[in-house]
Structure 1
């Protein structure tokens, strides 16, 4: 079944605005933790792991779509080799345990 082009609106590039909103929420969390107990620092630090998982998910999706390591590296601000060295493991997630 195909979708009629006139019925499906073109998707605008919304990622920068969405990312800006997420950054604002994270900064607000930092301010709240600053007013909270020291035990709450662990919750803030857990966000680092969430960002790593989100980055891995994004890179895996890009690789599935055929985006080159050179293009991924450019998006990350690093070389193709550096991007591959840091993130090649995400492709093994598609193949299950070895």
Structure 2
């Protein structure tokens, strides 16, 4: 999976877990899951998955890919934080 050292590819890898979490929990389940009592939980799980992906890319010494994953993780974290504050 991690063979190219590319910033754009790292950003793409970093946005996959949050997008999948949004698709699974917001679109497919539509409040049928127990997790939906805590609306930010799926996204926080996705961010934790990003840190696992980041660890694998860092161990493979792919610095640009790791930077891209970290950029995507921070962007998603800030977006979730802002949306949760203004959703009240």
TM-score scaled by length of structure 1: 0.40
Structure number with greater Rg is: 1
TM-score scaled by length of structure 2: 0.44
Higher relative contact order structure (alpha carbons within 8 Å, sequence separation ≥ 6): 2
